Amino acid sequence: MQQTLFIVIDGIDGAGSTLHSKLLAGFLSLKGLKIHLTQEPSNSEIGKLLRNFLKDDKIPPSTDALLFAADRDLHYRNEIKMKLEEGYIVISDRYIESSIIYQSCQSEKITIEWVKNLNKFAGKPDLTIILDIDPKMSLARKNQKDLEKFEDISFLEQVRKLYITRAKEEGYFIINTDDIIELVQEKIQQFVLNKLKVKGIQVKE
Ligand code: TYD
């Protein structure tokens, strides 16, 4: 029987967590594994509200933190936990680490401990992969008229620093995505395949 694994791909805006989550899901499916791909903000009503709030800089950071935590609580209970119990490997494009980093960078009053506490009912991932890129590079590729509230160079520099510091402290796998997509994806795949091997999860050659 397939054992499960909860994988999170997280990181700074523009580093490619959505793209690499999809590519990884496709690769693992071809290896014969049951994969469930999901993302945050989730597809719940709270998730939809959060997507609107990303365009609105009048929303207080504390409201963002509370709503992201509520969205995650539902997402974990109603989807992730269920899929893991059904034997799927779950890949989430963003998770608790996004809240810890973005919301604590939004306001000095928001501490990492408080964000962790708000999120304490959401199950921990088995594997966290942090994608890193220089925000000057990623923002240059975006349409400047269409930026969300977090897509600001100095804010993202702060976000980037905290992602790296925490990733080192927590032992997360950090990967720079300032390279050819296929090469970055291959490194992610090798890392995940090793973890699957360690867990005794069989994959097709
Ligand atoms: P995402 O849709 O991944 O951004 P994009 O597709 O534009 O790269 O994520 C939306 C934004 O929400 C992103 O700037 C990070 C932010 N975010 C938080 O601030 N806290 C959270 O808990 C999550 C999940 C995302």
Domain ranges of the chain: 6-199
Q: Give the per-residue pLDDT at 68.
A: 98
d(CA 42, ligand 1 centre) in Å: 10
Q: Which atom of ligand 1 is nearest to the CA of 50?
A: 12
How many residues make up the chain in this entry?
205
Check if 40 has its Cβ closer than 6 Å to any atom of ligand 1: yes
Confidence at residue 195, expressed as pLDDT on a 0 to 100 scale: 96
Q: Which CATH architecture has domain 6-199?
A: 3-Layer(aba) Sandwich (3.40)
6 Cβ below 6 A of ligand 1: no
Closest ligand 1 atom to Cα of 99? 22
Under a CB-based contact definition with an 8 Å cutoff, are residues 146 and 13 in contact? no
97, 91, 85, 98: which is closest to 38 by C-alpha?
Answer: 91
CA 173 to CA 158: how far, in whole Å?
19
Distance 13 CA to ligand 1 centre (A): 7
Residue 145 DSSP one-character state: G
Name 7's bridge partners: 91, 127
State both tokens at 104: 């604590």
pLDDT, residue 1, reads 53
Contact 76, 124 (CB under 8 A): no
Q: Separation of 197 CA from ligand 1 center, angstroms?
A: 31
Q: Are 148 and 51 in contact (CB under 8 A)?
A: no
Residue entry with tokens 């397939």: 2
pLDDT averaged per 10 residues, the chain (length 205):
88 97 98 98 97 94 98 98 98 98 97 98 98 94 87 96 98 96 98 96 90
pLDDT number for residue 141: 81
99 lines ligand 1 (CB under 6 A): yes
* 147: its two tokens: 């930026």
How many A from CA of 29 to the centre of ligand 1? 25
Distance 12 CA to ligand 1 centre (A): 9
Residue 142: predicted pLDDT:
82
Question: What is the value of pTM for the model shown?
Answer: 0.96
